[in-house]
Protein backbone atom coordinates (compact mmCIF):
# COMPACT_ATOMS: atom_id res chain seq x y z
CA UNK A 1 0.00 0.00 0.00
CA UNK A 2 1.33 3.48 -0.86
CA UNK A 3 1.16 6.60 1.31
CA UNK A 4 -1.64 7.87 -0.92
CA UNK A 5 -3.60 4.62 -0.62
CA UNK A 6 -3.15 4.56 3.15
CA UNK A 7 -4.35 8.16 3.39
CA UNK A 8 -7.50 7.49 1.37
CA UNK A 9 -8.19 4.16 3.12
CA UNK A 10 -8.81 6.09 6.34
CA UNK A 11 -9.47 9.58 4.99
CA UNK A 12 -8.99 13.19 5.96
CA UNK A 13 -10.79 12.91 9.29
CA UNK A 14 -8.27 10.29 10.43
CA UNK A 15 -5.26 12.02 8.81
CA UNK A 16 -6.10 15.76 8.82
CA UNK A 17 -3.55 16.98 6.28
CA UNK A 18 -3.89 18.82 3.00
CA UNK A 19 -1.16 16.76 1.31
CA UNK A 20 -3.73 15.10 -0.97
CA UNK A 21 -6.83 17.23 -0.51
CA UNK A 22 -5.81 20.83 -1.33
CA UNK A 23 -2.55 19.65 -2.87
CA UNK A 24 -1.41 16.61 -4.85
CA UNK A 25 1.74 15.68 -2.96
CA UNK A 26 1.06 12.10 -1.88
CA UNK A 27 1.41 10.76 -5.41
CA UNK A 28 4.98 12.10 -5.48
CA UNK A 29 5.72 11.05 -1.88
CA UNK A 30 4.42 7.54 -2.56
CA UNK A 31 6.88 7.20 -5.42
CA UNK A 32 9.90 8.84 -3.75
CA UNK A 33 9.63 7.47 -0.23
CA UNK A 34 8.35 3.89 -0.64
CA UNK A 35 11.87 2.41 -0.58
CA UNK A 36 12.14 3.40 3.10
CA UNK A 37 8.80 1.94 4.21
CA UNK A 38 10.44 -0.79 6.31
CA UNK A 39 13.72 0.99 7.09
CA UNK A 40 14.93 2.62 10.27
CA UNK A 41 15.02 6.29 9.24
CA UNK A 42 14.49 9.76 10.70
CA UNK A 43 11.71 11.97 9.35
CA UNK A 44 11.22 15.66 10.16
CA UNK A 45 8.19 17.77 9.32
CA UNK A 46 7.90 21.46 10.16
CA UNK A 47 4.34 22.77 10.15
CA UNK A 48 2.29 19.90 11.55
CA UNK A 49 -1.12 21.60 11.86
CA UNK A 50 -3.35 18.87 13.32
CA UNK A 51 -0.65 16.15 13.08
CA UNK A 52 -2.24 14.40 10.11
CA UNK A 53 0.98 14.13 8.13
CA UNK A 54 2.88 12.88 11.18
CA UNK A 55 0.22 10.26 11.87
CA UNK A 56 0.35 9.11 8.26
CA UNK A 57 4.15 8.88 8.37
CA UNK A 58 4.30 7.02 11.69
CA UNK A 59 1.80 4.44 10.43
CA UNK A 60 3.40 3.99 7.00
CA UNK A 61 7.04 4.00 8.12
CA UNK A 62 6.83 1.41 10.90
CA UNK A 63 10.48 1.72 11.96
CA UNK A 64 10.92 5.47 11.49
CA UNK A 65 11.50 8.09 14.11
CA UNK A 66 9.07 10.86 13.20
CA UNK A 67 9.43 14.36 14.66
CA UNK A 68 7.44 17.50 13.96
CA UNK A 69 7.61 21.16 14.88
CA UNK A 70 4.80 23.68 14.90
CA UNK A 71 4.64 27.06 16.57
CA UNK A 72 1.01 26.51 17.60
CA UNK A 73 -0.88 23.75 19.35
CA UNK A 74 -3.88 23.39 17.04
CA UNK A 75 -7.28 22.40 18.49
CA UNK A 76 -8.42 19.04 17.19
CA UNK A 77 -4.92 17.66 16.63
CA UNK A 78 -5.00 13.89 16.28
CA UNK A 79 -3.19 11.67 18.75
CA UNK A 80 0.12 10.12 17.83
CA UNK A 81 1.59 6.77 18.83
CA UNK A 82 5.32 7.20 18.17
CA UNK A 83 5.76 10.59 16.54
CA UNK A 84 6.77 13.54 18.70
CA UNK A 85 5.69 17.14 18.23
CA UNK A 86 7.54 20.14 19.60
CA UNK A 87 5.52 23.33 19.95
CA UNK A 88 8.16 25.89 19.09
CA UNK A 89 9.40 27.99 16.20
CA UNK A 90 11.76 25.77 14.21
CA UNK A 91 13.05 28.66 12.10
CA UNK A 92 14.53 30.66 14.97
CA UNK A 93 17.37 29.45 17.12
CA UNK A 94 19.72 26.54 16.75
CA UNK A 95 18.86 22.95 17.53
CA UNK A 96 20.72 19.71 17.21
CA UNK A 97 19.27 17.52 14.50
CA UNK A 98 19.95 13.84 13.85
CA UNK A 99 20.80 12.53 10.40
CA UNK A 100 17.61 12.80 8.37
CA UNK A 101 16.28 10.77 5.46
CA UNK A 102 13.13 12.82 4.81
CA UNK A 103 12.68 16.47 5.84
CA UNK A 104 9.53 18.37 4.86
CA UNK A 105 8.83 22.07 5.31
CA UNK A 106 5.09 22.76 5.45
CA UNK A 107 5.38 25.67 7.86
CA UNK A 108 4.70 29.33 7.22
CA UNK A 109 5.12 29.11 3.41
CA UNK A 110 7.23 32.28 3.58
CA UNK A 111 10.28 32.09 1.35
CA UNK A 112 12.67 33.31 4.09
CA UNK A 113 11.56 30.45 6.34
CA UNK A 114 11.71 27.95 3.49
CA UNK A 115 15.29 28.98 2.69
CA UNK A 116 16.23 28.84 6.38
CA UNK A 117 14.78 25.32 6.58
CA UNK A 118 16.88 24.09 3.65
CA UNK A 119 20.04 25.66 5.08
CA UNK A 120 19.45 23.99 8.47
CA UNK A 121 18.46 20.51 7.37
CA UNK A 122 20.34 19.87 4.12
CA UNK A 123 23.69 19.34 5.90
CA UNK A 124 21.99 16.72 8.13
CA UNK A 125 20.59 14.65 5.26
CA UNK A 126 21.81 11.12 4.59
CA UNK A 127 23.01 10.29 1.11
CA UNK A 128 19.95 9.76 -1.08
CA UNK A 129 17.65 11.57 1.36
CA UNK A 130 15.17 14.29 0.40
CA UNK A 131 14.52 17.80 1.64
CA UNK A 132 11.07 18.85 0.46
CA UNK A 133 9.66 22.36 0.57
CA UNK A 134 5.88 22.37 0.12
CA UNK A 135 3.58 25.15 -0.97
CA UNK A 136 6.08 27.38 -2.77
CA UNK A 137 4.71 30.60 -4.25
CA UNK A 138 5.68 32.18 -7.58
CA UNK A 139 8.92 34.17 -7.66
CA UNK A 140 10.99 31.55 -5.83
CA UNK A 141 13.61 30.68 -8.47
CA UNK A 142 16.25 33.35 -7.91
CA UNK A 143 16.14 32.91 -4.13
CA UNK A 144 16.42 29.12 -4.26
CA UNK A 145 19.18 29.36 -6.89
CA UNK A 146 21.20 31.43 -4.39
CA UNK A 147 21.44 28.37 -2.13
CA UNK A 148 23.73 26.80 -4.74
CA UNK A 149 22.20 23.36 -4.09
CA UNK A 150 20.68 21.49 -7.06
CA UNK A 151 16.93 21.12 -6.81
CA UNK A 152 13.92 19.93 -8.77
CA UNK A 153 10.65 21.81 -9.05
CA UNK A 154 7.40 19.86 -9.29
CA UNK A 155 4.42 21.98 -10.28
CA UNK A 156 0.90 20.64 -10.53
CA UNK A 157 -1.25 21.90 -13.40
CA UNK A 158 -3.88 22.82 -13.00
CA UNK A 159 -3.38 23.44 -9.29
CA UNK A 160 -5.88 21.39 -7.30
CA UNK A 161 -7.22 24.42 -5.44
CA UNK A 162 -4.18 26.34 -4.22
CA UNK A 163 -2.01 28.57 -6.44
CA UNK A 164 1.08 27.41 -4.50
CA UNK A 165 0.63 23.75 -5.47
CA UNK A 166 4.38 23.35 -5.97
CA UNK A 167 7.15 21.27 -4.38
CA UNK A 168 10.87 21.98 -4.34
CA UNK A 169 12.95 18.80 -3.90
CA UNK A 170 16.58 18.68 -2.82
CA UNK A 171 18.23 15.27 -3.00
CA UNK A 172 21.40 14.74 -1.03
In the chain, the domains with their CATH numbers are: 3-171 (3.40.50.150)
Q: Which residues contact 158 (CB under 8 A, 6 or more apart)?
A: none
Sign of CA dihedral 7, 63, 92, 25: negative
What's the whole-model pTM score? 0.95
Walk along the chain (172 residues) and give the pLDDT tens digit of each residue.
999 999 999 999 999 999 999 888 999 999 999 999 999 999 999 999 999 999 999 999 999 999 999 999 899 999 999 999 999 999 987 778 999 999 999 999 999 999 999 999 999 999 999 999 999 999 999 999 999 999 999 998 766 767 788 999 999 9
Amino acid sequence: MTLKELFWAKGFEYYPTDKDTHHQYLTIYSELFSKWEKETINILEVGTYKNGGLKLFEEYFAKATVVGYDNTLHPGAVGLTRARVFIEDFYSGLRELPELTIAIDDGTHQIEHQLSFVKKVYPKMVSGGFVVVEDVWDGFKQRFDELDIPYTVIEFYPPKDEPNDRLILFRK
